[in-house]
Each structure stands twice: as structure tokens, then as C-alpha cells.
Amino acid sequence: MNSVSESEFFSPYRPDGKLYGFICIVTGSTKPVGRAIVLELATCGDTPDDDYSSLIAEVSKTCPNTQILEYPYNVTSEEATLGLIDDVLNTWGRLDVWVCSSGLLGPPSLSATSPSDLQKCFETNALLPFFALKYAPPAMTKTTPKGNYPNAAPKETVYGSIIVISSVASTYGGCWGPAYTMASHAALGVVRAGVTSLKGSGIRINCISSGQIDVGVDLNGFDTRGMQTQFPPATLQSKENQKANIGLERAGVPQEVGRVAGFLASGFSSYVTGANLVVDGGSR
């Protein structure tokens, strides 16, 4: 078996596709951040949400050899996770990248948070990364000859990257309500625990903790209970506060998270695992 440096097919960045021949799963891909990640990866992604047409059309324009497949997937179901992995292996024979980009904000205060709300936040924010850590690595260790799909390339060496999209609430409180903070801490805990669990496997796991991201949500349409939303709207913080508290004096955009995910998915981050990459514009 070739090493990473010896395989000509290893480096995923090519003129005809950012992840050359890679098979990726991206959850939450029709949400703003997940969508940006799919566009950055520009590869085959199995996605759990319900409106794919515009995403597929957008990717087809820039990467015609890239295939986007919608996949009905309950991110909190162990059975559905195993079924998804089986379908990926039966269809393509390999799995290279798993991005957990599904998340739930939860209520903004302790008084508004029920035990059920807390459980839903843990299930969406931390259980999915746990499933990815537990079940994706055996699929990622499979090597394969060249497939018969567009952009196909042989997988000559073990490679896998698990990427957990969380928030700066993974390291401190006060960003939003307590359920969001607790569940985000748990998501980062999966990543930290994964380093030891994956030792010797060749599979990496990392976290992206984003700060204020402008996902195009305004206060008028915002779900104040946070049970349908992944991130709080940037409009909750005034431009004055952004200038005072963020080094770059603005909220981020989904593409800036997507670019970091592209780095972690690729061979350019081959010596990065267990990291928490903070994408917050220098907040304080």
C-alpha cells in the first residue's frame, strides 16, 4: 500500500475538482453553512435536508463532474447512520470525508429550556458527531481501485477526515442559551476523545468553532426558541458591537467556514487532528 506522499491520487485539489474522486457525506447541506461547505468541497455529498435543486444546479455550473445526491437521513438515528454508510460503500466502495454540519440552537435562557429541549440539542449537536466517530472510520479505511463515476480515482492509501461544525460555545458560555453551550461543549468533546480512539487508524477528526456568522436570517423571521435554527442571526448584535468586540469588526459569512472545512477535508491538513479551529474574526 502506498503512503500518503507516494500516491499521485492523494492530493485532492485539482483543476477539475477540489476533492478529486473523494466520496463525502455532508449533513445540513441545504442550510447556509452546510451549503457553503458542499460548494467548497465540490464533491459527492449525501445530504439530509429537503431542497436540493438550487444546490445541485449551482454545483453543476462550476464542477460539472461533481455529483450531488440527496439522501433522506435522520441524523439522530443510529440505524439510519449505519444504513447511509452501507449505501455509500455499496455504491462507491469508499468513504473519505464526513462533515457534521447539522446543529440546533435551542432556547435562549435556562428558564425557557426544558429537559426535552436539552436532549434535542444534544442529539443534533453531539450525537451525530459521535455516530460519525463510531461508524465512519471502518468505511474510511477501505481502499479501492478506480470507480466508474465522474472524477473517479483509485484510493491507494487509508484516508479519512471527520469534521464537526460547532461554535465558539464549545469553549465558553454566554453565546446563547445553556443548552447550546452544553451541547457544543459535548461536540468538541467527541473530537477530543476521537484522537485517542482513532490512534493508528489514519483517520483524522477536527472541529470548526465559528463565531458570528451572517446566515441571512433577520430578527423578524427568527425562531426565538431556537428549535429550528442552527446559528443566532448576526442582527442580534449591532454593527457597533461587532466593531467593538470582533477583531475584524464584522460577522463572518458561510463561505469563510466552508473554506476551513475544505482545508480540513484535504490532504493539506494531513498532520492536523484533534484541533478546534476557531473561525470568529478575532472575537473577544
Reported as a single tens digit per residue, the pLDDT across 74-88 is 888 999 999 999 999
Beta bridge partners of 210: 167, 279
Given this model, what pLDDT does residue 189 score? 98
Q: What is the pLDDT of residue 151?
A: 72
Average pLDDT over residues 267-282: 93
The amino acid that residue 2 corresponds to is N
Q: Which residues contact 22 (CB under 8 A, 6 or more apart)?
A: 12, 41, 43, 44, 96, 97, 265
User: Any residues with CB less than 8 A from the CB of 221 and at least 6 apart, and which?
Assistant: none
Q: What is the pLDDT of residues 125-152, one digit of tens each?
A: 999 999 999 999 999 999 999 888 777 8
Q: Using 50, 70 and 90 to split pLDDT, how confident is the model at 69?
A: low
Inform me whether the pLDDT recorded for 54 exceeds 90: no
DSSP 234: G
Q: Residue 79, Cβ neighbours under 10 Å: how many?
A: 8
Q: By percentage, how much of the chain surpasses pLDDT 70?
A: 80
Q: Of the given ranges (57-71, 74-88, 204-218, 266-280), which has the lowest mean pLDDT?
A: 57-71
Indicate the pLDDT class of residue 39, thresholds 50, 70 and 90: confident
pLDDT (tens digit per residue) in 215-255 = 877 766 667 676 667 777 777 778 888 888 899 999 899 99
**Residue 237: its pLDDT value, please?**
76
- SS3 of 122-183: the string is HHHHHHHHHHHHHHHHHHHCCCECCCCCCCCCCECCCCEEEEEEEEHHHCCCCCCCHHHHHH
- Residue 57 in this model has a pLDDT that exceeds 90: no
Per-residue cell: 114:
426544558
**Does the predicted TM-score (pTM) go above 0.95?**
no
pLDDT exceeds 80 at position 47: no
pLDDT at 50: 43
3-state secondary structure of 120: helix
**β-strands 203-210, 44-47 pairing:** unpaired
Sheet holding 276-279, edge to edge: 68-70, 44-47, 23-26, 97-100, 160-167, 203-210, 276-279
34 — pLDDT class (breaks 50, 70, 90): confident
Read off φ and ψ for residue 166, nearest 5 degrees.
-125, -150
pLDDT at res. 9: 53
**For residues 259, 261, 266 and 267, what is the CA-based torsion angle, rounded to 10 degrees?**
100
In this predicted structure, what is the pLDDT of residue 48? Answer: 35
Least confident of 10-14, 86-90, 122-126: 10-14
**Helix or strand run (H / E) with residue 278:** strand 276-279
Tell me the pLDDT of the chain averaged across its residues. 83
Q: pLDDT band at 16, cuts 50/70/90?
A: very low
| Least confident span in 76-85, 99-108, 199-208 | 99-108
